[in-house]
């Protein structure tokens, strides 16, 4: 019987970018990923098409699958000749029970690798501005489980040895036992004034820090109803937080922001959200594809056979540029066929898409929309001139109509089609229903319509009401109008119809509102 291979991978503390390069490579090549709740949903988007994902996570007081059953599952999947990734939060060797899983695989002769991850015991305090060691405060640290009941904890932990063994004590999964932990530390000699911090959901949008002392932290946890998962840090290094906290100072800290752009266009917005301390959640509701209709393909072929006749070439989107040049390449042509045409573009991203291809756009319009283009080039648009508009099948009709009213000869050419994504995302539904998507970004009318359509396909009878529980941010007035027509409230509108304009309005919103 042929056997697959199992990779026991540490996903890191929560922030998707804190996974190792090797861990990410394993996810990308896996046939199936077995994961728990501490693994970022964004990592699962790196899986190859057709790969399976199986949730076996554990929640407080409720286990989806027992550890013994997880062990057997990994064996069964590998015996099906599958490449399997067992994705665990943090590092799999730090209270991740990787030893049990690896032993089960070894007994069945199944090859496996352990891929270390960034442990939450170090990363989570770091995101709260707490270094676990400090030259003047702590030269060593201990990592201790706090997950067991008090009786078992007392059997496993030699409190008289552990309490003062190192400068810093880090307890994992110990929120429910915080009272017992502090009592034991006080009993065995730690001063009552010793600083303590609990960092909940560290590196994620929900990150929250509670600071106290051994004497009062248990009462504070009860008063705040501070829930797991959290890392507990005990020691003088906690005092560094007042000076070193950095994540909370970032302009989008604490916000999970839904990005609905097509996957090919989402990277800039996603990267900038991360740079500003937010947590982007990608769900591309639109996909762009080459035209499939034979009549449209023939129209493109005929138009490209006579490109030299055009006086103007107007691009209104990055996709318009990309697909135009894809067709140009397919026809074995290059830009020299447009030697007669003046080339203009709407918006800095579209202008940049031309620039990297060695083309300088005519003077950009002041307004980043079709209306701005007419205002900018109005006196240069002469009746009888031939204009080519390479665009998508859902583009607005305003620009070609206005050009025709001015007497220009306009050719509208659908060089790509916009289609509804076929993906479903149960994790996104859970986040929306739990109020954990703080803002939703729309960068085009099609992203608005398609997100509503996808949610309805996923069984949401009132998708608009569900979306209205989040802040709605639109890149421009046309997108906002579409959102309003569908019944969405538009809370934020970018002053400039650009990604930076959208980010600016999100940052101002976050600065002026309390995090919920």
Tell me: do 414 and 265 sit in the same domain.
no
Residue-level pLDDT at 380: 84
Domain stop point among 76, 95, 118: 118
CB 291 within 8 A of CB 436: no
Q: How far apart are CA 171 and CA 100, in angstroms?
A: 22
Tell me: do 277 and 400 sit in the same domain.
no
Report the CATH number that the domain containing residue 396 is assigned in CATH: 3.40.50.10090
Tell me: do 242 and 129 sit in the same domain.
yes
Domain stop point among 367, 402, 420: 420
End-to-end, the C-alpha distance of the chain in Å comes to 53
Total structural domains within the chain: 4
Tell me: do 166 and 278 sit in the same domain.
no
Tell me: do 397 and 364 sit in the same domain.
yes
Q: What is the pLDDT of residues 14-64, one digit of tens each?
A: 999 999 999 999 999 999 999 987 677 789 889 998 899 998 876 544 556
Residue-level pLDDT at 127: 97
Residue-level pLDDT at 516: 47
Report the CATH number that the domain containing residue 49 is assigned in CATH: 3.40.1010.10
Residue-level pLDDT at 473: 97
Q: What is the pLDDT of residues 146-192, one digit of tens each?
A: 877 888 888 889 999 999 999 999 999 899 999 999 999 999 999 99
One digit per residue, the tens of pLDDT, for the chain of length 516 reads 568 999 999 999 999 999 999 999 999 999 999 998 767 778 988 999 889 999 887 654 455 688 899 999 999 999 999 999 999 999 999 998 999 999 999 999 999 999 999 999 999 999 999 999 999 999 999 999 987 788 888 888 999 999 999 999 999 989 999 999 999 999 999 999 999 999 999 999 999 999 999 999 999 999 999 999 999 999 999 999 999 999 999 999 999 999 998 766 667 899 999 999 999 999 888 778 898 889 899 999 999 999 999 999 999 888 899 999 999 999 999 889 988 999 988 878 888 899 999 998 887 666 556 677 777 777 788 899 999 999 887 777 888 888 898 898 999 999 988 777 777 888 899 899 999 999 999 998 889 999 999 999 999 999 999 999 999 999 999 999 999 999 999 999 999 888 999 999 999 999 998 654
User: For the residues of 5-32, what is the DSSP string, one character each?
Assistant: EEEEEE-BSS-GGGS-HHHHHHHHH-SE
Give catalytic residues, as residue numbers. 36, 58, 173
Tell me: do 226 and 163 sit in the same domain.
yes
Residue-level pLDDT at 60: 47
Q: How far is CA 55 from CA 34, 86, 96, 272, 476, in A?
A: 6, 10, 16, 30, 39
pTM for this entry: 0.79
Distance of CA 489 to the CA centre of its chain: 23
Tell me: do 127 and 238 sit in the same domain.
yes
Tell me: do 73 and 49 sit in the same domain.
yes
Cα Rg, the chain, nearest whole Å: 28
CB 473 within 8 A of CB 442: yes
Report the CATH number that the domain containing residue 151 is assigned in CATH: 3.30.950.10
Domain stop point among 374, 389, 420: 420
Tell me: do 212 and 65 sit in the same domain.
no
Query: What is the spatial order of strands in the sheet that 112-115 belongs to?
Result: 52-55, 32-35, 83-88, 5-10, 112-115
User: For the residues of 167-230, what is the DSSP string, one character each?
Assistant: SEEEEES-GGGHHHHHHHHHHTT--TT-EEEEEESTTSTT-EEEEEETTTHHHHHHHHT-PSSE
What is the extent of the structural domain holding 149?
A: 122-249
The angle formed by the CA atoms of residues 308, 301 and 355, to the nearest 5 degrees, is 55
Tell me: do 271 and 341 sit in the same domain.
no
In the numeric block, the tokens 């591309």 are attached to 284
Tell me: do 130 and 236 sit in the same domain.
yes
Nearest to 345, CA basis, from 364, 366, 325, 320: 364
Q: How far apart are CA 16 and CA 110, in angstroms?
A: 29
Tell me: do 401 and 343 sit in the same domain.
yes
């Amino acid at each position: 019987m042929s056997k697959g291979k199992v990779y026991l991978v540490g996903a890191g503390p929560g922030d998707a970018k804190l996974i190792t390069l090797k861990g990410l490579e394993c996810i990308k090549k896996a046939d199936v990923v077995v994961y728990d709740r501490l693994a970022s949903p964004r990592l699962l988007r790196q899986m190859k098409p057709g790969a399976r994902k199986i949730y076996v996570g554990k929640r407080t007081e409720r286990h989806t699958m027992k550890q013994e059953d997880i062990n057997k599952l990994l064996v069964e999947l590998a015996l099906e000749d599958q490449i399997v990734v067992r994705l665990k939060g943090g590092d799999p060797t730090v209270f991740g029970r990787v030893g049990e899983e690896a032993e089960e695989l070894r007994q069945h002769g199944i090859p496996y690798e352990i891929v270390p991850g960034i442990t939450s015991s170090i990363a989570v305090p770091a995101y709260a501005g707490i270094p676990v060691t400090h030259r003047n405060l702590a030269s060593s640290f201990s990592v201790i489980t706090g997950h067991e009941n008090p009786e078992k904890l007392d059997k496993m932990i030699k409190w008289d040895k552990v309490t003062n063994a190192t400068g810093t004590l880090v307890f994992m999964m110990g929120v429910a036992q915080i009272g017992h932990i502090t009592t034991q530390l006080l009993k065995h000699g730690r001063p009552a004034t010793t600083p303590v911090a609990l960092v909940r959901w560290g590196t994620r949008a929900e990150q929250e820090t509670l600071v106290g002392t051994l004497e009062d932290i248990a009462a504070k946890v009860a008063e705040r109803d501070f829930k797991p998962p959290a890392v507990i840090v005990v020691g003088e290094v906690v005092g560094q937080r007042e000076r070193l906290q950095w994540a909370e100072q970032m302009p989008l800290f604490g916000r999970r922001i839904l990005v609905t752009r097509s996957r090919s266009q989402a990277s800039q917005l996603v990267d900038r959200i991360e740079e500003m301390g937010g947590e982007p959640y990608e769900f591309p509701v639109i996909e762009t594809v080459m035209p499939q209709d034979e009549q449209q393909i023939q129209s493109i072929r005929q138009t490209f056979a006579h490109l030299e006749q055009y006086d103007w070439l107007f691009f209104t989107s990055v996709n318009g540029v990309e697909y135009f040049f894809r067709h140009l390449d397919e026809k074995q042509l290059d830009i020299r066929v447009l030697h007669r045409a003046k080339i203009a573009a709407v918006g800095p991203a579209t202008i940049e898409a031309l620039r990297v291809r060695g083309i300088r756009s005519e003077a950009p319009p002041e307004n980043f929309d079709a209306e701005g283009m007419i205002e900018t080039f109005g006196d240069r648009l002469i009746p009888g001139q031939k204009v080519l508009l390479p665009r998508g099948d859902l583009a607005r009709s305003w620009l070609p109509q206005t050009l025709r009213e001015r007497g220009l000869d306009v050719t509208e050419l659908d060089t790509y089609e916009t289609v509804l994504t076929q993906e479903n995302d149960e994790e996104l539904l859970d986040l929306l229903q739990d109020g954990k998507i703080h803002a939703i970004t729309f960068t085009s009318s099609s992203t608005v319509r398609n997100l509503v359509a996808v949610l309805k396909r996923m069984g949401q009878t009132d998708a608009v009401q569900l979306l209205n529980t989040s802040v709605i941010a639109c890149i421009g007035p046309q997108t906002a109008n579409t959102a309003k027509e569908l019944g969405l409230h538009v809370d934020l509108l970018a002053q400039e119809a650009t990604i930076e304009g959208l980010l600016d309005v999100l940052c101002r919103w976050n600065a002026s509102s309390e995090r919920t």
